[in-house]
Amino acid sequence: MKPEKLKIIQQGAEAVIIKRGNEIIKDRIVKKYRLPELDNKIRVKRTRKEAKLLATASKIINVPKLKKIEESKITLGYIRGKKLSEHLDNLNKK
């Protein structure tokens, strides 16, 4: 079986977004300027909060399906199409 190709589709100050097959992986970046214990606590808390918000939002709107939650990493189902930021940029041009 051939390993799935990984592609970084976005990187920001908070996380790296990776596409792997039909999945999106959001991996929160370690902040070296913070104490390691504090950094881990913050990243885990934010990851759990985001997963909870996605679960709540999924009850009223279509959002990517949450597949897996790890300490500072979320795996979501991939939704084909433009990124939200691209749609918002197009609104500003109109």
In this predicted model, what pLDDT tens digit does every residue of 15-48 receive, in sequence order?
A: 999 999 999 999 999 999 999 999 999 999 999 9
Residue 26 · residue 74 · CB < 8 Å: yes
**Domain regions of the chain by residue span:** 6-93
Rounded to whole angstroms, how far apart are CA atoms 46 and 49? 5
What predicted TM-score, i.e. pTM, was given to this entire model? 0.82
At the topology level, CATH places domain 6-93 in Phosphorylase Kinase; domain 1 (3.30.200)
Rounded to whole angstroms, how far apart are CA atoms 47 and 57? 15
Report the chain's mean pLDDT, rounded to a whole number: 92
